[in-house]
Amino acid sequence: MIWYLLYPLRGTTEAPVLSASHPLRRVLTRYGRYASRYAITTLLISAAVAAFLIYPLPFIYTSHVINGASPLPRHVWTAAQPLPYDNAANPDIVMRSIWVHSSYMQALSPDILLSALDLQDALLGDTRDFGPSRSFGLLPPNDPESPLTPAQRDAHHIVNGLTNQSWILQSPLLYWNCSRDRILADEDILATVNDKKNHTTPANITLRHSIVFSGKRFEDRRLLAADALVITLLYRTDSPVGRQWEAVARSLPVKMGDKWDIYPPSGNVSASQLYEFQFRPMSVQDSIILALAYTLSLVYFLQQVSKVRAVKSKLGLIATVVMQIIMSIAASFTICGVFKIDLSGIPRAAYPLVILSMSLEHILRLMDAVVRTPSGENTSSRIGSAFGETAPTALVSTVQNFLILLGLSYAVTPSVSAFCIFAAIAIVLDFLFLSSFFISVLSVDVRRMELGDALAREAMRRKLKARRPREHPSWAKRMLEGKIALSTRIAGTIVMISFVIIAQSHFFGGGDISQRLAHLYNGQDLEPNMSSLKASHLEDIHQARTPTSWLRLQDHDAAREIIRLIKPSAYSYIARVYEPLVFVKKGSNRVPMTKEPALLPAIYDFAHHQLRTFVFLDIVVVALLRLLVSYLLPEDETKAEELQDSSDQSNLCVKTLPGGHTLDIAMLAHSPGGFVLSVGLDRMIRLWDLNHRNKGPISNLEREIPVKFPVLAVAISEDSDWLAILSSDTVIFWNITTHVHGSSVVVETYNQKPESFFLEPTASSDIPRAVIVWRNGSALDVDPASRETRESTICLGLTCARPLLSKVGKHPRVSLVATSRNGDVHIMERNGLLWERRNLLSRRLASDEIHQVVTLSPLPYFLVSSKTDLHLISLDDGTTSWSFSVEEMRPRSLSCAFTCHRSPNASPLGLTSFTFSYLALGSGDCVVHTFTPQDEDDAICLQSIDDTGNSSGWCSWADAKERKKHIGNPGVWSLLSDGSTLGLRRRSRTEPRSQHGHQRQDISGVRSRTPSTRSREFGAFSCWELWRAAASDWDELDETTPLFSDEDAGQLVVCELGPSVRVGSTSVAFAYGNVIKLVTLSGHKPFDAGIEDVSHESSMNVPTRRRKMVATARPGAALG
């Protein structure tokens, strides 16, 4: 709601998303990461805290307020509240009382009981062996003003029939039936009072301790002492007994002034206040409203859970949510009971509703954020990042609702005020349990791989909806589906405020809140206090409880019993309550000898008698939960909270391929099957099989085949069966599977490097043919079977040429896309033995020379780029699908990665993500653009939306979300299959480094994972670092880590990096001097063979001049 109130200042109602570098988000992300990593410890601590708060609950609450415990909420609306002074309601009954005090907390002594009996007899006449039913049928006196005999008095008692002259007596002396002899014979007054706590009067009203005593002291749920005896007369407005009480009371100061200090001294009590006592069962309307609210909440929750397909056991998720809400509510009841907050005024069925509506908001947002995190990350990073994103909004929402409830508690009736305080405590506890219990359970579920596998599937899954006209749902429908912020951000607040208003209307009517707010604004007292007028007279006697607080403490069952007597068909009655006539025994010491306990007496009883049991059961609960977690996570428990999911360790695994070269590596090539071919300046050619644990070279090709150096280019087939080496005068073929030398075909190269060199599969032979594209615009086909060559002309002034492999039938089909200096784009296809132009884009696509082509194999699309333009072009018809807005880029620095929403051979074609990167010409930064659809179930349509038949489930390029990142001083980098960027760079000497093992967090929010030991001096090896930039919004996943953990011996000192190639979907091989550094994302399978995972430059060697140019980019800021 706060974001709607701030709309005039912010211009939007969306909750702000803190940047990854914001201190609050960093702290919350780190907490979420640690809570998830140490999930078992977090779960046990949260369970121990919950048991600590919940176990005392049955000892604190009871159904009767007679033993020092809190009253338990029922299925009724109850209240004992004053009405405004200007209220003109006619009272149903009048209440007068006398309070009899002796020394402080000594009211239960026999002499005080006897003295109180004398006062009672003086006011009412002889009450010995009180039994008014014996006077049934006795006629009243002829003169209404004449004194009443005991029999005439008893004839008006309500037990003899309800009339306008009826009266009721409530007195502690009824425990002894108002008999002096019984009081004197009683040897244990306290035992009698406690044994007869359920004793009833002749009117069938229970003589509860809360009614007949004031200022009670309890221990072990038994009454130990009382500060005052309370004798109360309830009578109808025309009752002669009431007139007699009032008349006699004025004469008592004269008759008994020598024994008692009387307040007020005149004995005339005129100050009064109208009170309303309610005991109203829930109406059918109340039940329908609550049932409808719970049903809507349940339906909404189940609907949202059904969308979270990343949860294997949805029943487990529902059980966790229900358990969290139960713990929050039960713990809140305990806290309110400890601090004497009376929650019995509102039906118990209403308490979970507000907490449920606000708790679901935070839980569903967290679950949605976890699903949206990259599935490749470890558990701690995903949950930590999701918590860091959603926790600030949840925290602000919790604080906002807490302040709203706290403010409303001052503007509503006491019963509703207590509910507001309960709800405020509950939402705070709910946020704390969300931050501990729910996170830990979620983490345990992920570790069991029930959620982890589903998350990975969800990240790759995009639902293709049925072909139907695109619908435009209404605002109301989108709100009910939870697709706009109103339904999730302010639904809980609306439910909370609405319920407070509804609850208030049960006591005073709907317009009372505005009146009370106006009174509060004008500085008026919200609650009329009838004791305030005479409070100064009672200050010296130090009453343990004031008359007003005593009145509010009255048991609601007593109100129900009185309602049943005076208004049998009603649920409330109005009483005119007069201030008590206070009698204090002369010579009494009213100074408190000990301070009264601040907490509820039941709390002290619990501490005295249940503490050992409580501690034992708390330990048992934690132990049982630990055994359950051990059963759910049986493998390697000792390391479950350490190495297996440590997000403080780097997510980048670095391995050095041993052996190989003595001088720098000049050329790299790889295949999807996990083979890497390296050519060094030492004239050695090495073939590496990265699928095996021992990643040494499997072949030294220069020893097994005659190779005339220099080597101009190398290539590996897509099925990883063959490789080809282009030397200065020969194309040499080698079988990787059998390690057999194939054909050697002589070609004329003039020692010039080709623009492109790749292997083309053929249907007529198992050995693919080699294709060489020269920079003069010609293409040379080399057939290993016939050892013949055929030359075709591509274009004049060729600037770039790349093959595009698309799957057609059993063998991939290869097209050739080339560009020329005049801006033409040539699309060539095989026609027999020659290359023929299928399409010519003769118009100029860019304002300057097109310098690069990046093919999107296996999709029939490719990118063409100039310094200032980037276009996506269809291979089939040559149309431009989309033009991207880019910064001025350096030539030949473009790379691309994408994921398809389903098989790339299906139609229509769509993408779930599309990422490209390049080197900015002016700043030298690596610029990464990532496009994703607006809806996670949609896909970016490569064709025009109209071409898909206006079907739903598609997103156009114009509607796609774009994220842009700048990475300063990038060095050498590659795009991984998930769109993240992995690079290796040399850190500038001026960049700050972490000291004493502390992590460095730069201004862009990138985590720097450095060794925990003391930092070494800036040396030849320590200056190199790996960096990774995630393609998603989760900047917390960006990181840097040193390339070397310590000074590796036997490696060359280099100033510039060699070439690099992406190997598989999550690995990059970097040529660092004479060794290959294989960097892989931790916890990922590095190689997924197949054409669907073709690297866009994998079929040929990477041009070294481009990589050297990239490596010399100027130093800049860190990851951004």
| pLDDT tens-digit map of 412-444 | 878 888 888 999 999 999 999 999 999 988 887
Question: From CA 537, how far away is CA 267, in angstroms rounded?
Answer: 13
State the DSSP code for 469.
Answer: B
**Predicted pLDDT at 279:** 82
Which pairs with CB-CB distance under 8 Å and at least 24 residues apart come from 153-156? 153/124, 153/125, 153/241, 153/244, 156/239, 156/240, 156/241
How many CB atoms within 10 Å of residue 742?
A: 17
Q: Assess whether pLDDT exceeds 60 at residue 1011.
A: no
The string of DSSP letters for 589-608 reads --S-SSPPPSS-HHHHHHHH
Structure tokens at 738: 């059998």
pLDDT in tens, 61-72: 766 555 556 677
Q: Assess whether pLDDT exceeds 60 at residue 181.
A: yes
Give me the mean pLDDT over the 630-645 stretch.
52
Segment (H or E) for 1032: none
Question: From CA 416, how far away is CA 424, in angstroms rounded?
Answer: 12
Residues 6+ apart with CB under 8 A from 223: 67, 190, 193, 194, 197, 209, 213, 216, 217
Q: Are 123 and 251 in contact (CB under 8 A)?
A: no
Q: Are 1087 and 1067 in contact (CB under 8 A)?
A: yes
Instruction: Pick the more confident residue, 142 or 737.
Output: 737
Q: Please report which confidence band the pLDDT of residue 658 belongs to, taking 50, 70 and 90 as the band edges.
A: confident
Q: Assess whether pLDDT exceeds 70 at residue 925.
A: yes
Q: Please report which confidence band the pLDDT of residue 172 belongs to, taking 50, 70 and 90 as the band edges.
A: very high
Q: Assess whether pLDDT exceeds 50 at residue 1018.
A: no
**Predicted pLDDT at 993:** 46
**Predicted pLDDT at 633:** 63
For Cα atoms 292, 296, 302, give the angle at the middle one, nearest 5 degrees: 145
For residue 154, which of 179, 128, 178, 133 has the smallest C-alpha distance?
Answer: 133
Residue with tokens 């039913």: 133
Mean pLDDT (the chain) is: 77
Q: Assess whether pLDDT exceeds 60 at residue 555.
A: yes
**Predicted pLDDT at 313:** 63
> 3-class secondary structure for 413-442?
CHHHHHHHHHHHHHHHHHHHHHHHHHHHHH
pLDDT in tens, 439-479: 988 887 766 654 445 545 554 444 444 434 444 455 455 44
Give me the mean pLDDT over the 1044-1051 stretch.
60
Question: From CA 1005, how far away is CA 1025, in angstroms rounded?
Answer: 17
SS3 168: strand
Q: Are 1074 and 1052 in contact (CB under 8 A)?
A: yes
Q: Are 749 and 710 in contact (CB under 8 A)?
A: no
Give me the mean pLDDT over the 894-915 stretch.
78
**Predicted pLDDT at 954:** 82
| Percentage of residues of the chain with pLDDT beyond 70 | 74
Question: From CA 65, how far away is CA 556, in angstroms rounded?
Answer: 9
For residue 908, which of 852, 946, 851 has the smallest C-alpha distance?
Answer: 946
pLDDT in tens, 605-633: 777 777 888 888 888 888 888 887 777 66
Give me the mean pLDDT over the 127-135 stretch.
88
Q: Are 1024 and 1042 in contact (CB under 8 A)?
A: yes
Asked if the peptide bond before residue 347 counts as cis, ω within 30 degrees of 0, the response is no
Q: Assess whether pLDDT exceeds 90 at residue 58.
A: no
**Predicted pLDDT at 110:** 92
**Predicted pLDDT at 1108:** 40
Q: Please report which confidence band the pLDDT of residue 754 belongs to, taking 50, 70 and 90 as the band edges.
A: very high
Q: Assess whether pLDDT exceeds 60 at residue 187.
A: yes
Question: From CA 672, how far away is CA 1093, in angstroms rounded?
Answer: 7
**Predicted pLDDT at 530:** 46
Q: Please report which confidence band the pLDDT of residue 298 belongs to, taking 50, 70 and 90 as the band edges.
A: confident
**Predicted pLDDT at 511:** 43
| Percentage of residues of the chain with pLDDT beyond 90 | 16
How crowded is the C-beta side of 310, counted as CA atoms within 13 Å?
A: 26
| b/e burial code for range 174-208 (CB count within 10 A of at least 16 → b) | bbbebbeeebeebeebeebbbeebeeebbbebbbb
Q: Assess whether pLDDT exceeds 60 at residue 970.
A: yes
Give me the mean pLDDT over the 873-889 stretch.
87
SS3 875: coil
Residue with tokens 């696509």: 845
> 3-class secondary structure for 559-574?
HHHHHHHHCCCCCEEE
Instruction: Pick the more confident residue, 607 or 274.
Output: 274
* Whole-number CA gyration radius for the chain: 43
Q: Are 659 and 696 in contact (CB under 8 A)?
A: yes
Segment (H or E) for 360: helix 351-372
The strand pairing partners of 779, in sequence order, are: 773, 792
pLDDT in tens, 487-513: 445 555 666 666 667 666 655 544 454
pLDDT in tens, 739-753: 888 889 999 888 889
| b/e burial code for range 1089-1116 (CB count within 10 A of at least 16 → b) | eeebbbbbbbbbbbbbebbeebbebeeb
For Cα atoms 127, 128, 131, give the angle at the middle one, nearest 5 degrees: 75
> 3-class secondary structure for 50-63?
HHHHHCCHHHHEEC
Q: Please report which confidence band the pLDDT of residue 641 belongs to, taking 50, 70 and 90 as the band edges.
A: very low
| Helix-then-strand count for the chain, H and E | 29, 47
Please name the amino acid found at residue 846: A
Structure tokens at 1067: 């690995």
How many CB atoms within 10 Å of residue 1067?
A: 25
Q: Which value, to the nearest 10 degrees, does the dihedral of the CA atoms of residues 489, 493, 499, 501 take?
A: -130
Q: Assess whether pLDDT exceeds 50 at residue 1117.
A: no
Q: How many whole angstroms from its chain centre is CA 969?
A: 36
**Predicted pLDDT at 229:** 94
Question: From CA 919, how far away is CA 925, in angstroms rounded?
Answer: 6
Q: Which domains does the chain have, with CATH numbers?
A: 2-64+308-521 (1.20.1640), 76-279+530-607 (no CATH), 652-1111 (2.130.10.10)
**Predicted pLDDT at 182:** 93
Per DSSP bridges, beta strands 1067-1072 and 1060-1063 are: antiparallel
Distances (CA, A) of 400 to 214, 218, 891, 1105: 39, 39, 53, 59
Q: Are 705 and 734 in contact (CB under 8 A)?
A: yes
pLDDT in tens, 829-863: 887 778 888 777 766 666 677 888 999 888 888 99
The string of DSSP letters for 5-20 reads HTHHHHS--SPP---T
pLDDT in tens, 82-104: 887 777 788 999 999 999 999 99
Q: Please report which confidence band the pLDDT of residue 396 belongs to, taking 50, 70 and 90 as the band edges.
A: confident
Length in residues, the chain: 1120
Residues 6+ apart with CB under 8 A from 72: 61, 62, 63, 344, 348
The string of DSSP letters for 96-126 reads EEEEEE-STT-TTSHHHHHHHHHHHHHHHS-
